[in-house]
């Protein structure tokens, strides 16, 4: 059986799930683009304008959303929550894999133990 600290940690991770309710799964992309004005320097490929985009899968299709400059910190925080969620989910999975491996080992021991056959 996994150690008690592992089980406690798994429980604590599961209880933290509520804090991820505002997470945004996807990617933040910072790039440069043209604004579309004919007389702007960016029309000649010079001094392109910096932009932030959020890229995510929605019902299996990739969607790209322009993020206004004032919303970038808000989106970054929710993206950070998604990354933390992935790390916590991976840790819960690691603990559960340990539990499975230990259960298989105990089962194997019971099958090979001659005292358990009587």
User: pLDDT tens, 26-56?
Assistant: 999 999 999 889 899 888 888 899 999 999 9
Q: Could you give the percent of the chain with pLDDT greater than 70? A: 92
**CA 66, 57, 89: angle at the middle one, nearest 5?**
115
63 neighbors 95 (Cβ within 8 angstroms): no
Q: What is the pTM of this model?
A: 0.69
Burial status of residue 82 (CB atoms within 10 A of its CB: 0-12, 13-18, 19 or more) = middle
Report DSSP state, residue 56: E
**CA 66, 81, 99: angle at the middle one, nearest 5?**
140
Neighbours of 1 (CB within 10 A): 10
User: Torsions phi, psi of 52, nearest 5?
Assistant: -120, 135
Q: Residue 113: pLDDT above 80?
A: no
34 neighbors 112 (Cβ within 8 angstroms): no
């Amino acid at each position: 059986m996994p150690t008690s600290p592992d089980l406690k940690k798994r429980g604590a991770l599961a209880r933290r799930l509520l804090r991820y309710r505002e997470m945004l799964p996807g990617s933040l992309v910072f790039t440069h683009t043209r604004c579309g004005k004919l007389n702007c320097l960016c029309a000649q490929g010079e001094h392109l304008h910096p932009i932030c985009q959020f890229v995510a899968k929605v019902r299996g299709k990739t969607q790209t959303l322009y993020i206004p400059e004032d919303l970038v910190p808000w989106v970054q925080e929710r993206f950070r929550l998604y990354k933390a969620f992935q790390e916590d989910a991976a840790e819960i999975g690691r603990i559960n894999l340990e539990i499975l491996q230990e259960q298989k080992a105990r089962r194997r021991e019971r099958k090979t133990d001659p005292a358990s056959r009587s």
